[in-house]
Amino acid sequence: MDVDGDELFDTDVADQISPKGSFLEVRRANAVLHAVALGPHYSGRTQQVLTLTTTGEALAFNHSDIMLCIPDFLPEKLADACGLLRLHSSQTELVARTRVLERLRSADAKIELAVRYVDNRAARFYHYLKSDNPHQWRKVDVNMAAKFYDRPGNTCTPMAIKIAVHKHLMDHPRNFVAHPTAYRATQTFLVRPSAQVKNIFEVTEWMRVDGGRVLDEFCDRVKVVLEQVKALRQQSTLTTPHEIQTNYKCTITDTDREILRFLLDAYHIQRLTQFNPHSLPTSYILKRLGVLDDTQWPVNILGPLQQLLTDLGVFTPWTDSVSIAAHIECLAHQPVVKPIRAPAYPRQPLGPEDFYKSDPLEALRHDFGYLPVYVIDDPSASELDDGISIEPIENQPDNHWVHVHVADPTALLPPTHILADRARELSESSYSAHGINQMLPRSKFERFSLGHTAANKEPQQVMTYSFKVDRAGDLIDYKVQAAIVKNIHILTYDAVDAALGLPSVSPTYPFKLPDLSLPSHRPIETRHTERLRLLLEVSSRMIANRARLPIFSFSLPSSEIRFANPIPAHLPSPSQQADLSTLRDLKLYNGFPDMMYFVNSPESSTRGSRAMISEFMKAACRVASRFGVETGTPLVRRHGAEPFGPDAAAIKKLIASRDDYGIVDEYEAARCSVSLPRSVNTLTPKCHWSMGIPDGEGYVRVTSPLRRYADLVAHWQIKQALLAMSDPARYPKGKRTVFGEEWLTQYARELTFRDRERKRMNLVSREYWTGKFIKRWLDGEIKSETLDPKTAVFEARPGAMVVREQGGNHRMRSMVTQLGLWGDITQDDALEVGSRVKVRIASVQMGARPKIKLQAV
């Protein structure tokens, strides 16, 4: 622990094993352990790290439970000498483990000394870190917090102080909340607003003093209201969203508002790495109201809390509870790098509300004339980012130029604009069951959606990524240019598939009868069909080319929910909650919007026009990266490493089992304990293994600038390079990029966290609305044309997770393929991974993460 420096914590975002010889702090629930990393360990498909703890035990832990990792604590050679078994197998290993324990316990003593020093001087620590605004959160990292202890007389090493500060912040969850999903990589805490800290203290004291009298009186009043709520809901005959008129004859006091605010704050997702200061008073209130079932472990608090807040009018039945429960996570993932303020293309700097007065690349744009451009998407798509066109090459009958034309909002939007800052904060447009939150405001940027000006025959500005494809499906040449297109045709996937005679891979609707009416899309003219058929042929070459590589991917069906109609304007929206500061009367809402349940097939990525478009978009992203490599333009690239598993033979077995499209059975991968690591962002042109993109080429996302901030960054960077190439004298070396490598490196790191959190939240959101639909179907509130909840039987396939419960039963996470959802089968005997089991849906336990219980039949 004598090491020093600000960068000694391992904050790597890549999914890799903790380096051998690293010092680790492991946290799970109330247990905190110090250990040394010995090497990798596999538990099914989960890659863990085998450690030697201060007790001398060799234990394996998940990476997500490691809160601190300090590399080079021990020489790697000494860690290797300890072996990778739970028990030592030789005298040499025993001696090595003894030496490791000596070093580990010595470090423990130094940390304990630093912990006492930090705790004894922490009286003003929270006040030093909190925001001056009593209602505002503040984000700090351990290095920033440790500066509080930069004072004379401190004999502890800087690293020991930082570890002690980390422990103090972790151990005081009433004041500090660790980053919910990426603490190890960010070492970041959220400092609670002083108003919330005061609220937690007061409500907790009300539970403790005078026998809980204040909370008991609140619960007694609420019980009366809940009885009336039950009666009013039974009397209501409307099924659509509406407000029920109430006459509770109760006055909301300041104390009531404080308790309701506490309960609303308690509705959040929190990991078990910290104690939750809301849990005990919330459980007390729910048990006092008789709505908490504490007979099962773990106790589900969020489900009954959500229902209570709905019954009291804080939520509505259609409230998007997931986004509220994830509020702290959203705060944690806000950008930490200052927005760029450097001038971009024009000679005069731009202010934060200044758009470009004219198109900076107007003089460089290539005019594609009336070459047909096909924009192919779903009928409901509102942000049309990309279109494709094709050109045969004279005297090269086997080669073709394919052009991917991408919307160009950066013709108007500079990186210095406040809307660019907002786009960065959002990171992407978000799509939920109840609507879209667009990254760029429609009022300003709808005209950049491809085809928006087609009716008026007006040209559209685009960035075009072109590639020449040969007979083998290789990209043998490329071009990147700002351009203009004039002949845009908007088509749907189904219309293109029908015109080309391809089988439909559209989503399925398991709860309604199939629509046997004629398709609503208009037929495509023959001259366009011929070009589309040529595009399909070229994409098929590219797909076949990639399938010949020793790579694979896998996917499963997934469910999605959409509201059939928006919520009426006079009612609270799904993302809205009651303003407790002005609450005078309790309200009550009832009914629910009609929902559409559909399942996306994994075949959609490898079949038909969807696969064609996907292939061309990947090629455009490869072209962008090639451009960056060859021009020396730094760009943020997506890196997907090769799969990991217990041995190379398992990976070879999966490669041998691929289908013609390079897809392997997900359950076979689970049986082989093989997984693909999560992608990261980097400036280096590294490989994207599952796409067959080699090291040195790279992959830059550029095809969705209306929906993704990362694509805007790439466009600004590429366009500046095009300008510099056109006029080197005007753009000397220091002005050939908008963003420097230091800024891009920080942004790439930020983007990795944002990407992972977006994927996680999309999954949580799908699970929530799917669970909501299934529960309402089970309860008879949704009538299905095809499935009766009492008799419907489905096929389920257990995944890799088998949990042995306290009663001795096995709980197996299983995919119900027809519905695209995961549920749990619990029974005495474990089922084989990937086996096919007939099940009924037994129940749904609601909460931010609903639990669907399946029963084998």
The 3-class SS string of 44-87 reads CCEEEEEEEECCCCEEEEEHHHEEEEECCCCCHHHHHHCCCCCC
Q: What was the pLDDT predicted at 15? A: 53
User: Given pLDDT bands bounded at 50, 70 and 90, which one contains residue 1?
Assistant: very low
The DSSP code sequence of 735-756 is GS-SS-HHHHHHHHHHHHHHHH
Q: With DSSP H G I counted as helix, E B as strand and the rest as coil, what are the percentages for the chain, rounded to 5? A: 35, 20, 40
Q: What is the pLDDT of residues 206-219, one digit of tens each?
A: 999 999 999 999 99
**Of the given ranges (97-106, 401-410, 505-514), which has the lowest mean pLDDT?**
505-514
Structure confidence at residue 348 (pLDDT): 62
DSSP category for residue 388: E
Distance (Å, whole) CA 252 – CA 654: 63
Distances (CA, A) of 197 to 192, 202, 283, 402, 599: 6, 9, 19, 59, 44
Query: What domains, with CATH codes, occur in the chain?
Result: 23-133+142-172 (no CATH), 194-332 (no CATH), 362-511+532-562+602-642+677-760 (no CATH), 793-856 (2.40.50)
Confidence of residue 119 (pLDDT cuts 50, 70, 90): very high
Q: How many angstroms separate the CA atoms of 510 and 561, rounded?
A: 12
pLDDT in tens, 641-685: 999 888 889 999 999 999 888 899 999 999 888 989 999 999 999
Q: According to the model, what pLDDT value does residue 4 have?
A: 35
Q: What DSSP line would sit under 786-855, residue for residue?
A: S--TTT--EEEEEEEEEEE-TTS-EEEEEEETTTTEEEEEEESSPPPTT--EEEEEEEEE-SSS-EEEEE
Residue 3: what pLDDT? 37
Residue 283's pLDDT band, with cuts at 50, 70 and 90, is very high
pTM score of the predicted model? 0.90
Amino acid symbol at 191 = V
The residue-averaged pLDDT of 435-464 equals 90
Q: How far is CA 299 from the centre of its chain?
A: 26
Residues 531-590 have pLDDT tens digits of: 999 999 999 999 999 999 999 998 899 999 999 889 999 999 998 888 888 888 899 999
What is the rounded CA–CA span in Å between residue 634 and residue 640? 19
pLDDT at 5 over 60: no
**390 forms bridges with which residues in the sheet?**
402
Q: What integer pLDDT is reported at residue 6 of this predicted model? A: 35
Please tell me the predicted confidence (pLDDT) of residue 337: 45
In this predicted structure, what is the pLDDT of residue 256? 95
Identify whether the C-beta of residue 523 lies closer than 8 Å to the C-beta of residue 499.
yes
pLDDT exceeds cutoff 50 at 280: yes
> Quick one: average pLDDT of 90-97?
94
pLDDT at 28 over 50: yes
Structure confidence by residue, pLDDT tens digits, 316-353 = 999 998 888 877 777 766 665 454 544 445 556 788 89
Share of residues in the chain with pLDDT > 90 (%): 69
DSSP secondary structure string for all residues of 278-329: THHHHHHHHHHHT----SSSS---HHHHHHHHHHTTSS-TT--HHHHHTHHH
Closest-CA residue to 387 (of 620, 714, 720): 620
Cis before 298 (ω within 30)? yes
Over 80: is that where the pLDDT of 225 sits?
yes
Measured distance CA(409)–CA(605) in Å, rounded: 28
Higher per-residue confidence, 46 vs 168: 168
Summarised one tens digit per residue, pLDDT across range 751-782 is 998 898 889 888 989 999 999 999 999 999 99
pLDDT in tens, 371-430: 999 999 988 888 899 999 999 999 999 999 999 999 999 999 999 999 999 999 999 999
Helices and strands (H, E) in the chain, number of each type: 22, 28
Q: How many CA atoms lie within 13 A of 641 on its CB side?
A: 14
Task: Name the phi and psi angles at 495, rounded to 5.
Answer: -65, -40
SS3 letters for 404-430? EEEECHHHCCCCCCHHHHHHHHHCECE
Contact 178, 170 (CB under 8 A): yes
Distance of alpha carbon 230 from alpha carbon 212, whole angstroms: 27
Please give the C-alpha separations between residue 364 and each of 451, 513, 721, 724, 736, in angstroms, as whole numbers: 22, 53, 12, 11, 16
Helical spans, DSSP H, in 121-239: 125-129, 142-146, 158-170, 183-186, 194-208, 213-235
Distance, in Å, from the CA atom of 718 to the CA atom of 739, rounded to the nearest integer, reads 11
CA distances from 665 to 497, 560, 611, 701 (A): 25, 22, 19, 28
As a whole-number percent, the residues of the chain with pLDDT over 70 amount to: 94
Other CB atoms within 10 A of residue 306 CB: 20
Q: Which amino acid is at 378?
A: D
Between CA 817 and CA 558 the distance in angstroms is 8
Average pLDDT over residues 829-855: 92
The answer to whether 746 and 340 are in contact (CB under 8 A) is no
Identify the pLDDT of residue 453: 77
Cβ atoms 146, 118 nearer than 8 A:
no
β-pair type (188-191, 138-141): antiparallel
Residue for token digits 């700097």? 349
Q: What angle do CA 690, 695, 701 make, to 5 degrees?
A: 65
Q: Give the pLDDT of residue 17.
A: 61
Least confident of 436-440, 472-476, 525-529, 735-739: 735-739
Q: What are phi and psi of 198, to 5 degrees?
A: -65, -40
CA gap 155, 152 in Å, rounded: 9
Q: What are the angstrom distances between the C-alpha of 794 and each of 331, 542, 797, 818, 821?
A: 40, 37, 10, 7, 11
Q: Are 636 and 744 in contact (CB under 8 A)?
A: yes
Calpha distance 67→26 (Å, rounded): 6
pLDDT at site 516: 58
Highest mean pLDDT: which range of 191-205, 271-285, 568-582: 191-205
Mean per-residue pLDDT over the chain, rounded: 90
Q: Encode pLDDT of 160-184 as tens digits.
A: 999 999 999 999 999 999 988 888 8
Residue 2 has a pLDDT of 40
DSSP at 268 = S
